[in-house]
């Protein structure tokens, strides 16, 4: 077959005056010889064939994920730890220890645990996984790779941990009554009548895969983010928090969308 192909190539180069029909016939002959040659190649025995996952990744199907102690690996880098979790290692450990008793009594599906079973990652790393997901909106596959667990377990840990964290944090922030607001007046000499401030804080996230990207993209910041609307008093206490505004939402729009403030309103 190679000799035949060389002869065909030489005939093509020496016959520049060949018309298109002749060139087509020569090329079809070459393809026919190649197909004939391929037909004589014997396929491997059936027992040697394996699923595509096995051929791409050895032992992919049914692989035993051992889990990884990510907290011990990254807790020494305090600044990067804060960038990825919005907590310091010390404050994070306090949070994990506070919700540890509740999480230990729940299965991965959020139901009460009947019997104790050893999990692939401990509660500290489960909370860390959820905090990193909340902070950066990390991809499920990426979290599975970092923590050395399967993606299904990542999803179950998130669904199991979020309600516990919500119950833990929902009573941490209280809205002062009118008398308490008035007692705060005068704390800022430059603004004696001001009792607090309202601002939207962006949290940079990874580019979403499944959702439309444009609503998450902040044009003037040039990255994808989620916005959190905060109300803080003049003593630096958070008095109100409303999260989930998409990155393209302007601060003024976020203010109009938040719960109304005033006498007889939601935030009285």
Q: Coil, strand, or helix at residue 217? A: strand
Contacts of residue 200, defined as CB under 8 A and 6 or more positions apart, other chains included, come to: 227, 228, 229, 230, 245, 249, 251, 254, 255
What pLDDT is attached to residue 132?
92
- Contact of 201 with 166, CB cutoff 8 Å: no
Encode pLDDT of 181-196 as tens digits: 888 888 888 888 888 8
Q: Which region, left, alpha or beta, applies to residue 149 given φ > 0 means left and ψ of -120 to 50 means alpha? A: beta
For the cut 70, the answer to whether the pLDDT of residue 254 exceeds it is yes
240 and 161 within one domain:
no
> What is the pLDDT at residue 89?
92
- Among 147, 170, 193, identify where a domain stops: 170
Whether residue 58 lies inside any domain: the answer is no
pLDDT at 129 over 80: yes
Q: Residue ranges of the alpha helices (H) in 40-192?
A: 52-56, 70-74, 78-85, 89-104, 123-136, 140-147, 151-169, 178-183
Do residues 157 and 222 both lie within one domain? no
Question: Based on the structure, what is the number of domains in the chain?
Answer: 2
User: Within a domain: residue 100?
Assistant: yes
Q: Could you give the 3-state DSSP secondary structure of residue 37?
A: helix
Assess if residue 10 is contained within a domain: no
pLDDT at 6: 47
Are 79 and 161 within one domain? yes
Shared domain for 184 and 166, answered yes or no, is no
Q: Answer whether residue 233 shows pLDDT above 70.
A: yes
Residues 6+ apart with CB under 8 A from 179: none
Domain membership of residue 141 (yes or no) is: yes
Last residue of a domain, one of 143, 170, 197: 170
**Residue 236 pLDDT greater than 60, yes or no:** yes
Residue 99: inside a domain: yes
- Average pLDDT value for residue range 112-117: 48
What would the pLDDT profile of 131-154 be if each residue is shown by its tens digit? Answer: 999 888 788 888 998 898 888 889
pLDDT at 88: 92
Note down the domain range covering 76: 70-107+120-170
CB 197 within 8 A of CB 240: no
- Rounded Cα distance, 40 and 257, in Å: 70
Nearest Cα to Cα of residue 211 among 243, 242, 258, 244: 244
| Same-domain pairing of 146 and 205 | no
215 and 146 share a domain?
no
Rg of the chain over Cα atoms, rounded to whole angstroms, equals 31
Answer yes or no: are the C-beta atoms of 110 and 163 closer than 8 Å: yes
Q: How far is CA 35 from CA 1, 9, 45, 111, 154, in A?
A: 11, 18, 21, 60, 48
Q: How far, in Å, CA of 205 to CA of 207, rounded?
A: 6
Tens-place pLDDT, residues 78-96: 898 998 888 999 999 999 9
d(CA 250, CA 247) in angstroms, rounded, equals 8
Whether residue 129 is found in the same domain as residue 205 = no
């Amino acid at each position: 077959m190679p000799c035949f192909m060389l002869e065909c190539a030489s005939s093509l180069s020496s016959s520049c005056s060949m018309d298109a029909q002749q060139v087509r016939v020569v090329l079809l002959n070459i393809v026919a010889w190649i197909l004939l040659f391929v037909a004589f190649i014997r396929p491997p025995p059936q027992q040697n064939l394996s699923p595509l996952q096995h051929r791409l990744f050895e032992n992919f199907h049914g692989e035993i994920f051992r889990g990884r102690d990510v907290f011990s690996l990254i807790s020494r880098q305090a600044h990067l730890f804060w960038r990825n979790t919005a907590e310091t290692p010390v404050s994070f450990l306090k949070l994990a220890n506070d919700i540890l008793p509740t999480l230990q009594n729940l299965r991965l599906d959020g139901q009460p645990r009947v019997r104790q079973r050893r999990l692939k990652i401990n509660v500290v790393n489960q909370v860390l996984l959820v905090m990193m997901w909340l902070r950066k909106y990390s991809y499920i596959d990426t979290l599975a790779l970092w923590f050395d667990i399967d993606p299904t377990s990542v999803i179950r840990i998130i669904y199991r941990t979020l309600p516990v964290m919500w119950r833990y944090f929902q009573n941490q922030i209280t809205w002062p009554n009118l008398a308490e607001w008035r007692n705060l007046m005068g704390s800022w000499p430059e603004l004696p009548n001001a009792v607090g401030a309202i601002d939207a804080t962006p949290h940079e996230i990874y580019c979403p895969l499944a959702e439309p990207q444009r609503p998450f993209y902040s044009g003037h910041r040039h990255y994808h983010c989620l916005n959190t609307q905060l109300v803080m008093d003049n003593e630096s206490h958070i008095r109100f928090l409303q999260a989930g505004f998409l990155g393209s939402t302007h601060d003024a729009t976020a203010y109009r969308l938040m719960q109304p403030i005033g006498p007889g309103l939601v935030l009285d």
